[in-house]
Amino acid sequence: MESADGVNRGENGHAIENEGPLDEEVPRFWSQISERNMTYAEPLLAKRINTTSQIAIVGANLCPIESLDYEIFENEIFKQDWRSRRKVQVFQYIVLKWGFALLIGLGTGLVGFFNNIAVENISGFKLLMTTKFMSKNKYFEAFIVLASCNVGLAAAAAALCAFLAPAAAGSGIPEVKAYLNGIDAHSILAPSTLFVKIFGSILGVSAGLVVGKEGPMVHTGACIASLLGQGGSRKYHLTCSWLRYFKNDRDRRDMITCGAAAGVAAAFRAPVGGVLFALEEAASWWRNTLLWRTFFTTAVVAIVLRSAIQFCATGKCGLFGEGGLIMYDVSAAKVTYSEYDIIAVLLLGIIGGLLGSVYNYLVDKVVRTYSIINEKGPAFKISLVITIALLTSCISFGLPCFAKCIPCPADVPVKCPSTVSGNYKNFQCPPGHYNDLASLFLNTNDDAIRNLFSTSTTREFRISSLFIFFAAIYILGIITYGIAVPSGLFIPVILAGAVYGRLVGRLFESLSKLDTGLFALLGAASFLGGTMRMTVSLCIILLELTNDLLLLPLVMLVLLTSKTVADNFNMGVYDQILKIKGLPYLEAHAEAYMRTLVASDVVTGPLITFSGIERVGNIVYALKTTGHNGFPVIDEPPFSDAPELCGIVLRSHLLVLLKGKNFSTDRAFSSRNVFQRISALDFGKGGSGKGIKLEDLDIQEDEMDMFVDLHPITNASPYTVVETMSLAKAAILFRQLGLRHLCVVPKSQGRPPVVGILTRHDFMPEHVLGLYPHIKPHKHA
């Protein structure tokens, strides 16, 4: 049964965590088990199954999304590895962390620079060809050239996404946010995703689609960090013993946090804004040491981009200009405001909140509709992209044809009319005139925003043209998001917000002391706050973008207002995308109705446990017939006075132990030389999900009756909660500690030492409300 959130659940709504659906085909080694061993293993295992629910088939309905091990797994192997480290190795580990931060900054900065050069040159060449035909009054030929280029570039981007890396579609920010929350979605940080994200974003933005390359840059930075954080590759002999320190989810998470911050810094030339974005929006866990490393990473990005600007100033970057590495400098405008300006800013905030909530609602509907189309195959994905690209081309070229030509103003500091780009685009106008709609439509998105932010050009755009452009961009931004190309939301939202901000500036022209370009900036801030629901990071990003600190109070006011208004209607756009994709994201707060439940209320089974020294056949049978990733280990007499919880063992660690075949014929503790046969490197997490699978084992029939000591790989200090703890309290504990498994222990003695295990799926509202449908969430404060 599949729930509304896309998660496969059992009959009672429980989502069982696992590594993916079990294969129907029985592996080779499983067929070697005799009927005697199968009959023997099954009842023994059944003795240690805590059937706390009515699920009849173990692992029948499995969730394909695996959680990440952000908790430090303190087993004997791990402790022995830490005890054996010398001071030089600890110093080496610290230096490597900062070295990787440097490499992430360099890599992300260079990719950001490459993206900008490619987009500026491809878009510039396309617009130059179109202008060439326009200058000869060949308007139909000009449209054919523009539309053909746009459709070809968009189709190429869609083909990359459809055939190479479907996970690269969209902005990628929700996926990065989910990963940093502990969700290991399929292929979101794979090398193929990185490749398609870079080149697909270049092609999509160059195609004139109403998308941005800034959102994908966050995903790109995270992919670069993940690639560096793989700890090398044993398959290609590209690893060293000291790289084993990074073969764990915790260190990889910190590096990906740095990568996400670097992506924002590379996209907006906003290093401080990148750090705050990672802190406010992306990361679920934060600490001071990570703050300094993230700040260092973004500083490296800023240095790389500054060097790139100086290099391009020599004219060696083709058509690359200021529009590439975006900075909308409005510092030349005088910032003085009165009480009427405060009223106008509040009005902008209210409008931004309302428009942002409507925008999010429509994006939600469009993405859900597109997902139905995209599921039909690559041909439908590419056809949808081509349709949107053709529609965008028709609107971008067709609407300026109906606009009236405006005489060039006198004494303007730039060329008017302009045949290439800039504020005053000629289009089909006679000499000495310009087309204001063409100045917005037939430019790159960055240049269009720069035109709207331009100061001392109050009447450059007519009010009717601004209305038309706003309606077109608002609608195109909605219907473009969700197609199979890498597409960011930042630039479309900034573009639409700048238009209605400039409109409000024109309405308050007689009363306001603020320039219309500053109103455009405040409008962009209000729309960003209304859609993305961020405040601090957006405020700093916008100030770094515009190089004007004097606007800080007004930007803060408009962001707070728009976010407050929009929060009354729906959630932020990235949170909506997380829900649409069915990613089990854990919020920082617990739902109100969880206060009325206790931990044991949501514990479902069956719970399978292992003895501290377990029979190999039992372990193999459990791994085969279940999809669980964590198993409680219980010591029983004669190894303990009474049954007691020894800890938790992971599926991945069991597979490593079984593959190493550290078995014994007697049921006894393993000797100390086990640490010589097994190292911590063997238990390091493989890159890109390339860990040991059940099918990789080759266990013979006679080995099934042998024993294996699980104590060396058992986490002897698992987090536990008593069964009577409030579910809300348990949820907050689970989220704040970054857990994957939380043991529920009984309150009274004389019962099994563990009642059950809670995973992130057990805290999902769909699961809890599925168990207790009588609960009315909205009635609880």
- Pair (65, 106) in one structural domain: no
Least confident piece of the model among 148-162, 227-241, 341-355, 746-760? 227-241
Neighbours of 222 (CB within 10 A): 34
Higher pLDDT, 260 or 320: 260
Residue 147: pLDDT band with limits 50, 70, 90 = very high
pLDDT winner (highest mean) among 14-23, 105-114, 325-334: 105-114
Torsions phi, psi for 757 (to 5 deg): -125, 135
779: in domain: no
Extract the tokens encoding 675: 């640490």
CA distance 86 to 411: 72
pLDDT of 179: 94
Q: How far is the C-alpha of 287 from the C-alpha of 744, rounded, in Å? A: 28
CATH code of the domain in which 170 resides: 1.10.3080.10
Q: Phi first, then psi: what are they for 543, rounded to 5°?
A: -70, -35
Q: What per-residue confidence (pLDDT) applies to 530?
A: 96
- What Rg value do the Cα atoms of the chain yield, rounded? 29
Same domain, 131 and 203: yes
In the listed set 556, 581, 606, which residue is the last one of a domain according to the structure? 581
> Looking at the predicted structure, is the pLDDT value of residue 689 above 80?
no
Cα-Cα-Cα-Cα dihedral of 380, 174, 491, 401, to 10°?
20
* Lowest-pLDDT choice from 51-55, 98-102, 435-439: 51-55
Contact 197/205 with Cβ under 8 angstroms?
Answer: no
Do 165 and 378 form a contact (C-beta atoms < 8 A)?
no
Residue 141 lies in a domain: yes
Pick the most confident of 86-95, 204-213, 700-709. Answer: 204-213
**Is 567 inside any structural domain?**
yes
Q: Are residues 303 and 207 located together in one domain of the fold?
A: yes
Same domain, 575 and 647: no
626 Cβ partners below 8 Å, 6+ apart? 16, 18, 58, 59, 608
pLDDT band at 497 (very low <50, low <70, confident <90, very high): very high
In a domain, 428, yes or no: no
**Residue 246 and residue 104 share a domain:** yes
Angle at 169 between CA 168 and CA 172, to 5 degrees: 70
Measured CA to CA, the distance from residue 651 to residue 629 in angstroms comes to 5
pLDDT digits (tens, 9 = 90+) for 239-281: 666 666 777 888 889 999 999 999 999 999 899 999 999 999 9
- Between helices 87-135 and 214-228, what is the axis angle to 10°? 150
Does a structural domain hold residue 553? Answer: yes
Which amino acid is located at 126 in the chain? K
- Same structural domain for residues 237 and 378? no
- Dmax (CA) of the chain: 98
Q: What's the Cα-to-Cα distance from 632 to each of 601, 629, 739, rounded to whole Å?
A: 19, 10, 15
In a domain, 204, yes or no: yes
Cβ proximity of 169 and 486 under 8 Å: yes
Number of domains in the chain: 3
Cα distances (Å, whole numbers) of residue 213 to 15, 61, 210, 255, 605: 36, 39, 10, 22, 46
CA atoms of 405 and 108, how far apart (whole Å): 43
What confidence score (pLDDT) does residue 691 get?
A: 72
Q: Which of 312, 328, 349 is the last residue of a domain?
A: 312
Q: Please indicate, yes or no, if residue 391 is contained in any of the structural domains.
A: yes
- Containing domain of residue 117, as a range? 87-312
Instruction: With CA atoms as reference, report the closest residue to 147 among 383, 382, 398.
Output: 398
Query: Which CATH number goes with the domain that contains 621?
Result: 3.10.580.10
Residues 66 and 99 in one domain: no
Q: Are residues 280 and 163 in the same domain?
A: yes
Residue 492, token pair as written in the block: 């479309």
Beta bridge partners of 418: 425
Q: Can you give the pLDDT at residue 186? A: 78
**pTM for the model:** 0.87
- Whether residues 128 and 213 share a domain: the answer is yes
- Last-in-domain residue among 548, 581, 614: 581
Q: What is the pLDDT of residues 391-427, one digit of tens each?
A: 999 999 999 988 888 888 777 666 777 655 566 777 8
The pLDDT tens digits for 427-449 are 888 888 888 898 889 888 888 88
Q: In sequence order, what DSSP letters do the residues of 260-325 get, joined into one string?
A: HHHHHHHHHT-HHHHHHHIIIII-SS--HHHHHHHHHHHHHHHHHHHHHHHHHTTT-STT--TTTS
Q: Give the span between the Cα atoms of 470 and 478, in whole angstroms.
A: 12
Cα–Cα distance measured from residue 155 to residue 149, given in angstroms and rounded to the nearest whole number: 10
CB atoms closer than 10 angstroms to residue 8: 18
More confident residue, 283 or 665: 283
Between strands 610-611 and 49-50, the pairing is unpaired
Q: Could you report how far apart the first and last alpha carbons of the chain are, in Å?
A: 31
Compute the mean pLDDT over every residue in the chain, rounded to the nearest whole number: 83
Establish if 82 belongs to a structural domain: no
Do 576 and 595 lie in a common domain? no
Q: What pLDDT does residue 233 have? A: 55
Query: CA-CA distance, 76 to 80, in Å (whole number)?
Result: 6
With 70 as the cut, is the pLDDT of residue 676 above it? no
**Which tokens hold the place of 481?**
């998001």
* Predicted local distance difference test score (pLDDT) of residue 631: 93
Residues 19 and 112 in one domain: no
Higher pLDDT, 386 or 13: 386
Same domain for 576 and 596, yes or no, is no
